[in-house]
Structure 1
Amino acid sequence: MYTASSIKGLVLAAGEGSRLRPFTFSRPKHLIPLLGKPMIQYPIEDLFSTGVRDIGIVVGYFGDMIRDILGDGTGFDARFTYIQQEKRLGIAHAIHRAIETGFVDREFIVYLGDNILSNGIKDYARTWFEDNSDVHILLARVRDPRRFGVAIVRDGRIVKLVEKPKEFVSDLAVVGVYMFRDPDLVEKAFKSLKPSWRGEYEVTELIQWFIDNGYKVSYSIVSGWWKDVGTYDGLLDAVYLLLDRADPRIEGVVEGDVKGRVVVEKGAIVKGSVYGPAYIGRDVIVERNAVVEHYVSIEQGARVLSGSIMRSLVMDGAEIDLNKARLIDSVIGSRSIIKCSRELQGDISLVISDYSRVQL
């Protein structure tokens, strides 16, 4: 019988997020806010939706910050156990650390802390458990398979996994969710591995061991979208996709004009105009001379004094004063200040790290 409460969850959040520098010089990427939540909260809540409440979080880079933000899980009606991965030696090594420390001692689901799936994993977890598979993985069709591990499938069966292929072998990318039935078998597989050319123990090679040794490795092709949030473009894509599924909600004060699917959190004050889909976080102020256009997430405590913003992420505490200019396709770091003292016309696109100041 499928009882998710007996399954453990494992969220991986030890990486440095080098592709998201300079933001990750001052925090782990997993704490970058998206619509009022740190990125890592989305996979955690997805595990909750399956019934999993006992979750290990593998940390390394700025791990103390993740502990401080998430706590021990009591605020989520769950239990969080933190597992240290001192050296970032790959996903398979992170899984090994969770087993080695004794946290993983039964069936478990691994979820990368920078992955978001629109339809969640609940149905796939049930499929894995009811099929009695040793390993179950999720696949998604992608345009550029070279960026991912991919699966070669023949006659409905996975025959080979290839990590970041240089030549086309399949367009079925391996999504960052892996389900394992027996931790002892996983450890046996790990001990057979050697570091790849990247110096990491690859999860694709770990799963390949199960395939090569005749164990049952099943898969599901995900419906809806899947986003691996590891780049600036990925951040903005995540904002767009999350806003597309957000339900409109007004809990703050609206003195100006709000149209379309807009979320206005408690403590926010909108004096100007907001056109959805858009997210206005807690204690945000949108002044009278400011316009927030489509696909914008303005995080807690930010202030938009003047100008227009479109297709952008403005992080907590930032201040935007654009005069008559428009900010588009931009990522603005926490507590940064952008001030346009001249009457510039047209669009501006910026990627600004935390605590920065830009004078135009």
Structure 2
Amino acid sequence: MKALVLAGGAGTRLRPITHTSAKQLVPVANKAVLFYGLESIAAAGITDVGVIVGDTADEIRAAVGDGSAFGLDVTYIPQDKPLGLAHAVLIARDWLGDDDFVMYLGDNFIVGGITDLVDEFRRTRPDAQILLTRVSDPRAFGVAELDAAGQVVALEEKPEHPKSDLALVGVYLLTPAVHDAVRAISPSRRGELEITHALQHLIDTGAAVRSTIVKGYWKDTGNVVDMLEVNRTVLETLERRIDGQVDDASETIGRVVVERGARVVNSRIVGPVVIGAGTEVVDSYVGPFTSVAENCRIADSELEFSIVLRESSIEGVGRIEESLIGRHVEVTPAPVVPSAHRLVLGDHSKVQIHT
């Protein structure tokens, strides 16, 4: 069995972060989202991995390499444009051969991994197996309709009027039967080859498409709110570890990780928090559910429920929360300027100004 990992796409919902960085490499708890997926694939006993790459191919290659760091053998498959999940299957046809495979969206996050799901698929081997989860607004997802027996009868991509609240999770377990299906469909109104249409083709031609409702935690980390929520979830699993320097004037409370080479000076850290290697926290407060990457500086500031990427500084700015701060960023106080009002008033005007 192989794995096909999708690591292309523009990441428009995470801009401006993704103007200069692949969305799959934005870190949660100081580790790229993509790495969690690769680790889950390796833990499931799959070692042969094809990675679909687009405009950020060089960055993905530099981060993942040949896959040996994850116990994987990685092959890169270029995709000129993000033309849909089924298109990714189409261009990977030669590499996939006649093997079963798991298709894993590189910006998705599943707590607990996929080992049990892969084992079930290997044991029962339907033509395709999809994962579903209940969501509050299904219109943003592919949506499944089940019959009274729980069998998949219909799939629809981002419907205006969803027939259920069951959204497709970004992990698909597939047999070679899917290759005929992706060749049989036409582009959607979005101009993409939709995997939901390919799966519907399988259903319409009598193939066995089974579903599993994900009971654990799943998130598509495509926007800032979800990225912060995944960061919170991962930080909840931290075990306290202080490898860096914490002076006597500082206090660390709860699940706090201070990596080797980091310094905490006259500050209060309330976990779960991770402070990256080489980072300095001086005269500051870092509150729960915050990850600060390597070689940052936090001084005379408060930070909570946030992600700070590497080599950024936050100095003298009071409190920051619910924020995603990119790499090489400088956050400083605005210069003090005299308070003034600028007015253009017509004749006989009456203006009240608070002073």
C-alpha separation in 1, matches of 2:62 and 2:277: 20
- 1:71 matched to 2:60? The reply is no
Residue by residue over 1:8-37, the C-alpha shift from the partner in whole angstroms, topping out at 9 and shown as x without a partner, is 111101101011111111121111122221
Deviation at 1:107, TM superposition (A): 0.9
- 1:150 matched to 2:143? The reply is yes
| Identity among equivalent pairs (%) | 39
C-alpha separation in 2, matches of 1:103 and 1:264: 42
C-alpha separation in 1, matches of 2:221 and 2:97: 26
Give the structure-2-normalised TM-score: 0.90
Check the 8 A contact 2:256/2:269 in 1, yes or no. yes
C-alpha separation in 2, matches of 1:105 and 1:72: 23
Deviation at 1:342, TM superposition (A): 7.0
Task: Give the alignment partner of residue 102 of structure 1, picking from 88, 95, 100.
Answer: 95
- 1:280 matched to 2:275? The reply is yes
1:11 maps to a residue whose letter is V
C-alpha separation in 2, matches of 1:213 and 1:277: 50
C-alpha separation in 1, matches of 2:68 and 2:329: 33
C-alpha separation in 2, matches of 1:11 and 1:191: 20
Check the 8 A contact 1:10/1:55 in 2, yes or no. yes
Residue by residue over 1:220-253, the C-alpha shift from the partner in whole angstroms, topping out at 9 and shown as x without a partner, is 1112210100011121111111112223222222
Deviation at 1:308, TM superposition (A): 0.5
Deviation at 1:104, TM superposition (A): 4.5
Aligned residue for 2:182? 190
C-alpha separation in 1, matches of 2:126 and 2:241: 41
Q: 1:191 to 1:283 in 2, by over 3 A?
A: same
Aligned residue for 1:19? 13
1:111 maps to a residue whose letter is Y
Aligned residue for 1:136? 129
C-alpha separation in 1, matches of 2:15 and 2:43: 32
Q: 1:82 to 1:166 in 2, by over 3 A?
A: same
C-alpha separation in 2, matches of 1:131 and 1:87: 35
Residue by residue over 1:122-145, the C-alpha shift from the partner in whole angstroms, topping out at 9 and shown as x without a partner, is 111111121121111110011110
Residue by residue over 1:131-178, the C-alpha shift from the partner in whole angstroms, topping out at 9 and shown as x without a partner, is 121111110011110110011011110000111111131011100000
Task: Give the alignment partner of residue 301 of structure 1, picking from 295, 301, 306.
Answer: 295
- 1:316 matched to 2:299? The reply is no
C-alpha separation in 2, matches of 1:75 and 1:93: 28
Check the 8 A contact 1:128/1:218 in 2, yes or no. no
Q: 1:262 to 1:225 in 2, by over 3 A?
A: same
2:126 maps to a residue whose letter is S
DSSP-derived class of the 2:236 partner: helix
Aligned residue for 1:230? 222
Aligned residue for 1:251? 243
RMSD value, Cα: 1.4
Check the 8 A contact 2:6/2:52 in 1, yes or no. yes
Moved more, 103-112 or 169-178: 103-112
Which residues of structure 1 form unaligned runs of 5+? Answer: 1-6, 344-360
C-alpha separation in 2, matches of 1:76 and 1:160: 37
Task: Give the alignment partner of residue 166 of structure 2, picking from 141, 155, 172.
Answer: 172
Give the structure-1-normalised TM-score: 0.89
Aligned residue for 1:3? none
Choose 1 or 2 for highest CA Rg: 2
Aligned residue for 1:209? 201
C-alpha separation in 1, matches of 2:182 and 2:72: 29
